[in-house]
Amino acid sequence: MAEHGHHHGASKATGFHLKLREGTQSLHDQAESGNFQVRMVSGELARIEFSAFLGQMHSLHTVLDPALQDAASRDPRVAQIFDESHLRLGRINQDLADLQCDGPGEPLPSIAEFNQYVNRKLKESPSSLIGVLYVKEGATNGNKFIAKKLRETLGLGEDKAMGYLDPHGKDQRRCWNAFKEQLNELELDQAEQEECLDAAKETFKLMMTVSQEIDATKQSVTAG
Ligand code: HEM
């Protein structure tokens, strides 16, 4: 995205946040130019495809939301940064209802595998889930932009179906700035920070895979 291509250099990043940002920068560039994201931004993405995407996010957050809550109860660093505004399941349910969808459907293999990964990390190292949270929160920056386009394309009304893509609404800037500050206040040692970075990379890769798989599903449908 030309007009958004320079955001990584736009503001000063420091500390643990800088580590996560630099360590995932090339993945972000890839994610941003992925087919699915490009079509979402250009407004081509049909309601049925957006619903399929949200259905997959439903499967993901069915595991991730409680895992984050659980991690927060086990690890004070997670508790320090995690709050209820990071939960997405309720919003996804409302979005799917707004879209008048049949329901979330079967999780793709990539989602099922990631859910196992999340549960494994929850047991092994609850603080590593901060890396997943970082990608989920960071992505709201770009998703807000996509939501703006989709509101126009889908024509469902301002307040409909965008709870997942635009969870913070007018508080986006404030939430993201606070989140970045909180990242840097966490007392995580080098090894723990590395674990978070690994989890962040896994999350990026998952989101790209899901987008590709949803694309493929659509192609196989239209191909007959
Ligand atoms: C069309 C697609 C996308 C656009 C236009 C976009 C745009 C942006 C923008 C403008 C920011 C900067 C926010 C700021 O610091 O002021 C940002 C940050 C971020 N985005 Fe995206 N994004 C897109 C896709 C994605 C995807 C698919 C993911 C992950 C699944 C993602 C994850 C992140 C993360 C983690 C950050 C935080 C980077 C940091 O630490 O500063 N983005 N994005």
Q: Is the pLDDT of residue 223 over 60?
A: no
pLDDT top residue among 104 and 194: 194
Measured CA to CA, the distance from residue 52 to residue 154 in angstroms comes to 15
Q: pTM for the whole thing?
A: 0.91
The answer to whether position 33 is within a domain reads no
The answer to whether position 112 is within a domain reads yes
Q: Tell me, what's the pLDDT at 222?
A: 52
Q: Tell me, what's the pLDDT at 189?
A: 98
Q: Is the pLDDT of residue 75 over 50?
A: yes
Identify the band that residue 218 occupies on the pLDDT scale cut at 50, 70 and 90: low
Q: Is the pLDDT of residue 69 over 80?
A: yes
The answer to whether position 49 is within a domain reads yes
Q: Tell me, what's the pLDDT at 158?
A: 85
The answer to whether position 193 is within a domain reads yes
> Any idea what the CATH number is for the domain that residue 203 is in?
1.20.910.10
The answer to whether position 17 is within a domain reads no
Measured CA to CA, the distance from residue 34 to residue 37 in angstroms comes to 5
**What is the CA(158)–ligand 1 centre distance, in A?**
22
Q: Are 184 and 16 in contact (CB under 8 A)?
A: yes
Query: How many domains are there within the chain?
Result: 1
Average pLDDT score over residue span 166-190? 98
Taking residue 161's Cβ as centre, other Cβ atoms within 10 Å add up to 27
The answer to whether position 12 is within a domain reads no
The answer to whether position 3 is within a domain reads no
Q: Which of 28, 132, 164, 210 to mutate to test the pocket of ligand 1 (most atoms within 8 A of CB)?
A: 28
135 lines ligand 1 (CB under 6 A): yes
- The average confidence (pLDDT) of the chain is 91
Q: Which residue range(s) make up the domain with 156? A: 42-218
37 lines ligand 1 (CB under 6 A): yes
**What is the CA(11)–ligand 1 centre distance, in A?**
13
**What is the CA(135)–ligand 1 centre distance, in A?**
8
Percent of the chain with pLDDT over 90: 74
Q: Tell me, what's the pLDDT at 224?
A: 43
Q: Which atom of ligand 1 is nearest to the CA of 145?
A: 5
The answer to whether position 82 is within a domain reads yes
Cα dist from 73 to 59, 115, 200, whole Å: 22, 19, 21
Cα dist from 84 to 93, 119, 167, whole Å: 16, 19, 11
Q: Tell me, what's the pLDDT at 219?
A: 59
Average pLDDT score over residue span 198-223? 83
Q: Whose CA is nearest to atom 15 of ligand 1?
A: 7
131 lines ligand 1 (CB under 6 A): no
pLDDT in tens, 86-95: 999 999 999 9
Q: Is the dihedral of CA 41, 47, 87, 193 positive or negative?
A: negative
Q: Is the pLDDT of residue 44 over 50?
A: yes
H or E element: which one contains 107?
A: none
